[in-house]
Every structure is written in C-alpha cells, then in structure tokens.
Amino acid sequence: MAALRAAVDEDFLREFRASFAAQFTGFVDDPATFDERSRSAFERARQFGLSRRKALYAYMQLDLIVGSEFILHPLVAPGLSRPKCLPPDERFDRVLKRLSPADWQGVADDLAPDGDSQDGSRP
C-alpha cells in the first residue's frame, strides 16, 4: 500500500510541476531546485493534513510563491487553526475564500526579505 501511495504522490508532483512551470513561466530557473522545493511544499501540505487535490495545489503554489511561512502570517494562521471541528482541507478553503489578492500580496510583502517586495514581477 505504501508503494502505491508513493507512486500516486510522485504522479501528483510531476503533474503539479508541469502545470506550475507552464502557468508561471520564468519562475523555475533551476529544475533540480524547483523539484526539491515543490517536494518540500508537498510534504508541508501533507503535514498540515491536506489531502484534496485542489487544496494541495493551492497550498503548494502559495508555499512556492509567497513563502513557506505563509501559514504563520496573522492574516492566515487564525483561519487555519479554527474551527478544529473542520478538516484541514475545509479550513484551508475558507482562508482561500476569505483573503483577497491584495491580502495575499500583503502576506508576500510581509514575508519578503527586507527591500525585496513581491511587486508582481514574479507570481
């Protein structure tokens, strides 16, 4: 069963990488580094408890674009921790629906290294 799960995960990662690279051209400078970063993002999404494909995709995109610490940001963290009665996928969906593109830009700006604001030149 573990081998099947690993194969399914590898197929998902392959599909995600191809989709992401096509959608965000220029973001993937080094394929080996991108493979490593996307695998790490996938593992963080699984550790958070995400299992639905759509939620995994969204989490991984935010992890890669905004930064892996996005789940700790004050605009994001409260929605991910409450209510505990909801599964992680549903809590994550609620955060995605609640935050606007401007909110996400603010999260990215807050997490960017000093003076390295995400100004839209990168996704």
Residue 121: predicted pLDDT: 40
Find the DSSP H helices in the chain: 2-23, 31-48, 53-65, 77-81, 88-98, 101-111
pTM (two decimals): 0.86
pLDDT given for residue 47 in this prediction: 94
Looking at per-residue confidence, does 113 or 72 come out higher? 72
Looking at residue 26, its pLDDT comes to: 82
The mean per-residue pLDDT over the stretch 64-79 comes to: 94
Domain parsing of the chain, residue ranges: 2-111
Output the six-digit token pair for 99. 């935050």
- Euclidean distance between CA atoms 76 and 94, whole angstroms: 10
For 30: left if phi > 0, alpha if psi spans -120 to 50, otherwise beta; the answer is beta
Give residue 25's pLDDT.
82
Q: Rg of the Cα trace of the chain?
A: 15
Dihedral of CA atoms 7, 70, 108, 98 in degrees, nearest 10, equals 100
pLDDT tens digits for range 22-39:
998 888 888 899 999 999
Distance CA 12, CA 50 (A): 14
**Cα–Cα distances in Å, from 112 out to 35, 65, 95, 115, 116?**
22, 10, 20, 8, 6
Q: What's the pLDDT score for residue 117?
A: 47
Token pair belonging to 105? 């830009």
Model confidence at 114, pLDDT cuts 50, 70, 90, reads low
